[in-house]
């Protein structure tokens, strides 16, 4: 059970932006160098972040990306959502014909998985980008 790299990189990259942007755009090249993430992969990730209005882009020389919301307001759940990274611990949904046919005990565990999803999602909902940076400041 793990998060995929796209989600992790997205969070890392946005955290990087929060640290390094001084009101100007941050280029993917810089993020790539600092965070050790492939530039091509970052492009793919930022495409989604842009489409979902997490960042906006500035083209041309000295271009890059800018956070739409402040790190204080940007929820981690927003980021994961932008990458279609739903926290869905099971494939078996109540309304799915395929895996849950309502037979006897078959779906005893349904409620449990639902609870789990809620538990995890509420964590992501409760955390803002700025929360990730706090530890860092302590180290400086």
Partner DNA sequence: TATATACCCGACTAAAATAGTCAAGTTTTT
Partner DNA sequence: AAAAACTTGACTATTTTAGTCGGGTATATA
Binding site for DNA (CB under 7 A): 4-6, 25-29, 38, 40-41, 43-44, 46-47, 50-51, 57-65, 91
**Pick 60 or 82: Cβ nearer a second copy:** 82
Q: Classify 66 as helix, strand or coil.
A: strand
Work out how close the CB of 42 gets to DNA at its nearest, in angstroms, rounded to a whole number. Answer: 8
Q: In the chain, which ranges are continuous DSSP H helix? A: 5-20, 28-35, 39-51, 76-82, 110-126, 129-139
**Pick 55 or 76: Cβ nearer a second copy:** 76
Report the 10 Å Cβ neighbour count for 106: 12
Residue 29 contact among a second copy, DNA, none, beta carbon within 5 to 8 Å by kind = DNA
Q: Which residues of 5-16 are buried (b: 16+ CB within 10 A; e: fewer)?
A: ebbebbbbbbbb
130 near a second copy (CB under 8 A) = no
Nearest to 79 by CA among 63, 55, 57, 58: 55
68 near a second copy (CB under 8 A) = no
**Pick 35 or 70: Cβ nearer DNA:** 35
CA atoms of 86 and 80, how far apart (whole Å): 7
Contacting residues for 139 by C-beta, under 8 A, at least 6 apart? none
Work out how close the CB of 111 gets to a second copy at its nearest, in angstroms, rounded to a whole number. Answer: 5
**Given the rule CB under 8 A, which residues bind a second copy?**
1-5, 7-8, 11-12, 15-16, 19-20, 34-36, 76, 85-92, 101, 103-106, 108-109, 111-113, 116, 119-120, 123, 127, 131-133, 135-136
């Amino acid at each position: 059970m793990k998060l995929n790299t796209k989600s992790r990189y997205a969070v890392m990259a946005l955290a990087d932006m929060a640290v390094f942007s001084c009101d100007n755009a941050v280029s993917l090249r810089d993020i790539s160098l600092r965070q050790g993430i492939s530039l091509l992969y970052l492009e793919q990730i930022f495409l989604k972040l842009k489409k979902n209005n997490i960042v906006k882009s500035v083209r041309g020389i000295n271009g890059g990306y800018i956070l739409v919301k402040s790190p204080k307001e940007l929820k981690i759940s927003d980021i994961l959502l932008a990458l279609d990274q739903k926290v869905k611990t099971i494939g078996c949904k109540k309304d799915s014909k395929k895996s849950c046919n309502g037979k006897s005990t078959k779906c005893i565990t349904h409620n449990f998985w639902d609870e789990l999803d809620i538990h995890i999602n509420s964590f992501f909902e409760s955390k803002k980008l700025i929360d990730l940076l706090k530890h860092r400041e302590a180290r400086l």
